Chains A and B, each alone.
Chain A
Amino acid sequence: MTDTQWPRYEVFVQERPGRPHQHAGSVHAPDPEMALLNARDVFVRRPECAGLWVAPATAVHGGSAEELPQLLAAPRSQGGSPSNEYLVFAKLEERGTLTHVGEVRAAGREAALAAAQEAAGNRPPLALWVIPAERVERSLPEEAASMFDPSRHKPFRNQAFYHIQTALQRLRRDPSLIANRQSPEARR
């Protein structure tokens, strides 16, 4: 209890309404609700967020393209309902990140991963995750204002707020603006 570990939650950020959620990183938290709040504090200091999901790292099944053949060959867990819903996240571009691409229904995580791989078709993902839908904690639309609006009122976090080049050019054109300027020679 004195440590800083707590369970790790993977964080997915939706930058604009209608865009897919994308993996941004992770946070540690004692429960899903705190994970969502920590994720807001860590990943949403800028306005580019319309929705936030977190899921316990232990609920993630999958891995990189190198790991997938072995994961797909593993024996499947028994007894789950074939209608269990899993969210699918795939990394499709070298410079991209894991992105929500859809859902599959399967009796267990191994079957879900296989279904997700099959759905990818002839475009094999560079990394692939499935997460049971019930394990994903999502920000609620009615909470969006209190969760995300504070970041909209901080224009000073944007570099365009500062007009440095203009100010430097002005000084270059008119050095008298630095009225009490000492020449380098005078300093020596």
Chain B
Amino acid sequence: MTDDERLAHFEARIARGEKIEPGDWMPDEYRRQLIRMISQHAHSEIVGMLPEGGWITMAPSLRRKLVLVAKVQDEGGHGQYLYHAAETLGISRQEMIEALHSGKAKYSSIFNYPATSWADIGVIGWFVDGAAILNQTMLARSSYGPYARAMVRISAEESFHNKQGIEIVLALVQGTPAQQAMAQDAVDRWWWPTLMMFGPHDSESPNTPALVRWGIKTRTNDDLRQEFVNQTVPQAQAMGLTLPDHELHFDKSTGNWRFGEIDWAEFWRVVGGDGPCNRERLQARRAAHDDGLWVRQALAAYAART
């Protein structure tokens, strides 16, 4: 078979809804895009443990602490599922971790914002996990078998992440004026960065057409972002919280909540490494890796015993 015939065969398989498995022929660009996406996704889970991990010891009750520990633990596990899925494409975990630690690899920009109050833990679950679940539910239908299977597992496990966050916010909005103000402040700070999580507009997203054609993604950034806004506005209204966008209004003709323009300069600045916490996050990851060296050495020595 020529490469053109292979490509036609590959695209026909995807059109029939077949899953591509490790070892199957795939275009180099499909492999490259998948490695980029899956490793970024894995890094996001791992770095995503940091903003919330800092609040474990400050959780306001034992129940909240148990829940937060379980959530952060899930994120560590989800990072591992995803590193495995990327490994099936021929990249090593070592290469991926080095790319993260050197600053070469990207991860979701949302984790470069600080979690400065307990309300942030609620709003992260409500907004950030709510947004992530929409993306993950789409990726569970991805054409690459190992990625889709990891996403099915992750989506099922993460639904509680979103709910526990809403539960925290619900408690705050029914609390004292100071607690309500804390919830509103967290909403004000996390709303726009969450909308940025879905990535650039479709018109500015050079990867999207190939990703959709090959079934890696089945929906576009703008489409997912709109669904997130539509599901979140009524929740905010019920909780008496104001989303920080004066242009937000309901469009009867489309049934969508229309929202104002995202500050893309901020998005690109944070992606480029100049967000509030980029340096701190990478330092924390490198330190964790270096501090764990003696554990890896001890395990290797134990395994080498005869």
Q: Measuring CB to CB, which residues of chain A are less than 8 angstroms from any residue of chain B? A: 1-6, 8, 24-31, 34, 41-43, 45-46, 63-67, 91, 94-95, 97, 126-127, 154, 156-159, 161-162, 164, 167-168, 171-172, 175, 177-182, 184, 187
Which chain A positions have C-beta within 8 A of B157?
Answer: 45-46, 157
Instruction: Tell me if A159 and B94 are in contact (CB < 8 A).
Output: no
Instruction: Tell me if A171 and B84 are in contact (CB < 8 A).
Output: no
Contacts A5-B93, A25-B81, A95-B19 known; A64 to B24 CB distance under 8 Å? Answer: yes
Chain B: interface secondary structure? helix
Which chain A positions have C-beta within 8 A of B200?
Answer: none
Instruction: Tell me if B93 and A156 are in contact (CB < 8 A).
Output: no
Q: B299 at interface (Cβ–Cβ under 8 A)? A: yes
Contacts A26-B84, A181-B240 known; A156 to B297 CB distance under 8 Å? Answer: no
- Docked complex Cα distance between A28 and B96 (Å): 14
Instruction: Tell me if B21 and A126 are in contact (CB < 8 A).
Output: yes
- Docked complex Cα distance between A156 and B164 (Å): 9
Instruction: Tell me if B94 and A3 are in contact (CB < 8 A).
Output: yes
Contacts A159-B163, A177-B174 known; A30 to B242 CB distance under 8 Å? Answer: no
Which chain A positions have C-beta within 8 A of B283?
Answer: none
Tell me which of B29-37, B66-74, B262-270 binds A. Answer: B66-74
A125 to chain B, nearest CB (A): 11
Q: List 24 A-B contacts (CB under 8 A).
A: A1-B300, A4-B296, A25-B85, A30-B302, A30-B303, A34-B303, A42-B77, A64-B23, A65-B24, A95-B19, A97-B145, A154-B70, A156-B63, A156-B66, A156-B67, A156-B160, A159-B163, A162-B164, A171-B173, A172-B238, A178-B174, A180-B176, A180-B180, A182-B180
Instruction: Tell me if B170 and A167 are in contact (CB < 8 A).
Output: yes
Number of interface residues of B (CB under 8 A): 59
Q: B25 at interface (Cβ–Cβ under 8 A)? A: yes
Which chain A positions have C-beta within 8 A of B177?
Answer: 180
Which of A1, A45, A65 is the one whose CB lies under 8 Å from B74?
A45
Instruction: Tell me if A45 and B163 are in contact (CB < 8 A).
Output: no
- Docked complex Cα distance between A24 and B150 (Å): 8
Instruction: Tell me if B149 and A97 are in contact (CB < 8 A).
Output: yes
Which chain B positions have C-beta within 8 A of A31?
Answer: 302-303
- Docked complex Cα distance between A122 and B166 (Å): 51
Instruction: Tell me if B87 and A8 are in contact (CB < 8 A).
Output: yes
Closest A residue to B63 using CB positions: A156
Which chain A positions have C-beta within 8 A of B17?
Answer: 94
A99 to chain B, nearest CB (A): 12
Which chain A positions have C-beta within 8 A of B63?
Answer: 156
Closest A residue to B20 using CB positions: A64
Instruction: Tell me if A30 and B300 are in contact (CB < 8 A).
Output: yes
Instruction: Tell me if B80 and A27 are in contact (CB < 8 A).
Output: yes
Instruction: Tell me if A4 and B238 are in contact (CB < 8 A).
Output: no
Instruction: Tell me if B81 and A5 are in contact (CB < 8 A).
Output: no
- Docked complex Cα distance between A1 and B304 (Å): 11
Contacts A4-B94, A66-B23 known; A178 to B77 CB distance under 8 Å? Answer: no
Per-residue contact bits, chain B 285-299, to A (CB 8 Å; 1 contact, 0 not): 000010001001101
Which chain B positions have C-beta within 8 A of A29?
Answer: 299
Instruction: Tell me if A42 and B81 are in contact (CB < 8 A).
Output: yes
Which chain B positions have C-beta within 8 A of A42?
Answer: 77, 80-81
Which chain B positions have C-beta within 8 A of A154?
Answer: 66, 70
Instruction: Tell me if B81 and A45 are in contact (CB < 8 A).
Output: no
Which chain A positions have C-beta within 8 A of B303?
Answer: 30-31, 34
Instruction: Tell me if B92 and A5 are in contact (CB < 8 A).
Output: yes
Instruction: Tell me if A1 and B84 are in contact (CB < 8 A).
Output: no
- Docked complex Cα distance between A146 and B235 (Å): 41
Instruction: Tell me if A28 and B93 are in contact (CB < 8 A).
Output: yes
Which chain B positions have C-beta within 8 A of A97?
Answer: 145, 149
- Docked complex Cα distance between A87 and B21 (Å): 20
Which chain A positions have C-beta within 8 A of B174?
Answer: 171, 177-179
B125 to chain A, nearest CB (A): 10
